[in-house]
Amino acid sequence: MENVAVRAYAKVNFTLDVLGNADGYHLIDSLVCTIDLYDLVRARRRRDGEVRVTMRGMPYPLPPEKNNACHAAKAFVARFATTGADILIDKHIPVGGGLGGSSADAAGVLRALAALYGISDGAALKQVADGLGSDTGYLLTGGCARITGRGEHVAPISGMAPVSLLLICPGRGVSAAACYARYDALGEAYPPVTGHALRLLGKEGTMSALRCCSNALTAGAKACNAAVGRALEEARMLSPVAGMSGSGSACFAVFEDKQACLAARKAYRGRFRTYCVRTLPAQFHQATR
Please name the helix (run of DSSP H) or strand (run of DSSP E) that holds residue 103, with its range, or none. helix 101-117
Exposure string for 157-188, b = 16+ CB within 10 A, e = fewer: beebebbbbbbbbbeebbbbebbbebbeeeee
Average pLDDT over residues 90-102: 95
- The reply to whether 164-278 shares the fold of 3-156 is no
Residue 288 DSSP one-character state: B
Q: What CATH number is given for 3-156 in this structure?
A: 3.30.230.10
| pTM of the predicted structure, to 2 decimals | 0.94
Instruction: In whole angstroms, give the CA distance from residue 60 to residue 81.
Output: 29
pLDDT at res. 98: 97
SS (H, E, C) 196-238: HHHHHHHHHCHHHHHCCCEECCHHHHHHHCCHHHHHHHHHHHH
pLDDT of 284 strictly over 50: no
pLDDT at res. 78: 95
pLDDT of 229 strictly over 50: yes
Can you tell me whether residue 278 is helix, strand or coil? strand
Peptide bond into 208 cis (omega under 30): no
Domain boundaries, the chain: 3-156, 164-278
CA nearest to 221, candidates 211, 234, 231: 231
Whether the Cβ atoms of residue 264 and residue 238 lie closer than 8 Å to each other: yes
Residues marked as catalytic:
11, 135
Which architecture, in CATH terms, is 164-278?
A: 2-Layer Sandwich (3.30)
User: Among 12-16, 20-24, 158-162, 178-182, whose mean pLDDT is lowest?
Assistant: 20-24
Going by their DSSP bridges, the two strands 242-244 and 214-215 should be labelled as unpaired
